Amino acid sequence: MAKIIAGVASSHVPAIGAAIDNKQTEEPYWQRVFSGFEKSKEWMEKTKPDVCIVIYNDHASAFSVEIVPTFALGCAEEFPPADEGWGPRPVPVVQGHPELASHIAQSVILDEFDLTICNKMEVDHGLTVPMNLLFGSPKAWPCPVIPLAVNVVLYPPPTAHRCYMLGKAIRRAVESYPEDLRVVIFGTGGMSHQISGPRAGLINSKFDKAFLDNLTKDPRKLTRITHLELMREAGAEGIEMVMWLVMRGALDDKGDEGYRFYTVPASNTAVGHIILEPKRRAAGKSKRVTASKAKRPMGSKPRRAAAFKSNLQSVRKGKR
């Protein structure tokens, strides 16, 4: 059975990507930002997920404003970096996981979340910058990635509660996938920022820090935040934080915070970052779970697949 082993949230400021691409990471302004991700890169190196699901938003790069899907799931074999006006970023092409992605599409849509299926999609800084922050700048990304783009650019975006419930549906989908895959889910964007209009440059550290506290301890409280409240407190683009709730919904209700980092500003944005993972792993079981594979009773895989089918049937019959 596949399992979501941890959640990661991180801001996705495009200037962070430009600092990497232009080799400015050692400059004091940027060093302050990148130093906060050193431990996270070590954690990721040890954790070695088999697949990452990255919840991010497209900034009118892959989708023009002519077509704006609320939730778009990347089911393709690969996702090239988008040209955001300066040519595509010099980062590796993201390799997808079409089998797990199709399974998620089937499970989540039959669970009554209407995803748009994308069999061809480019990915912008919303996805590539958090990848750099957690994986560094390798020649090839070390694991396949399933992108899930959320509309936060054109009114109306999905509510915080809808995002949280989508996370729960994604977890059900992952846990009904028969292969033993260890999955890390990312929520990206935020924290407080507004990049245009009279309040451009707005940052609200008090709000951001309370958001981080609640993300760990009381995510349901965050699901009651309205769009207006988010925009008033965290700026127009602070609305991106609803995407963190997709990630949070996919984890246990009781959160275990592994690591947190916060600094202001990077470009116009407060940079927030958190790693949430169940305690049993934080206590040292970070090795790949080969033991459970060895212990799997013969024939249990088909039984799981059968359980998944019957789950889908009860969804179709409206039992969930």
Residues near ligand DHB (CB under 6 A)? 12-15, 59, 189, 193, 195, 237, 267-269
Residue 195: CB minimum distance to ligand DHB, A: 5
Question: 3-class DSSP state for residue 95?
Answer: strand
CB atoms within 10 A of CB 29: 11
Q: Give 311's contacts (C-beta < 8 A, 6+ positions apart).
A: 107, 172, 176, 320
Amino acid identity, residue 304? R
- Verify whether residue 193 is a known catalytic residue: yes
Cα 248 off chain centre by: 9
Quick one: 10 or 107, whose CB is closer to ligand DHB?
Answer: 10
Quick one: 157 or 189, whose CB is closer to ligand DHB?
Answer: 189
Quick one: 6 or 13, whose CB is closer to ligand DHB?
Answer: 13
Quick one: 59 or 97, whose CB is closer to ligand DHB?
Answer: 59
CB atoms within 10 A of CB 298: 6
Structure token digits, residue 52:
């990452």
The interaxial angle of helices 98-110 and 160-175, nearest 10 deg, is 120
Residue 50: CB minimum distance to ligand DHB, A: 28
User: Which residue in 12, 193, 227, 273 is the catalytic one?
Assistant: 193
Structure token digits, residue 34:
């990148």
Residue 254: CB minimum distance to ligand DHB, A: 30
Residue 165: CB minimum distance to ligand DHB, A: 24
DSSP code string of 128-170? HHHHHHHH-S-SS-SS-EEEEEE--SSSPPPPHHHHHHHHHHH
Amino acid identity, residue 309? K
User: Which residue in 125, 161, 227, 273 is the catalytic one?
Assistant: 125
Residue 117: CB minimum distance to ligand DHB, A: 24
Q: Are the CB atoms for 125 and 59 separated by under 8 Å?
A: yes
- Verify whether residue 125 is a known catalytic residue: yes
What does residue 153 show for φ and ψ, rounded to 5 degrees?
A: -105, -25
Distance CA 191, CA 56 (A): 13
User: Could you give the residue numbers annotated as active site?
Assistant: 125, 193
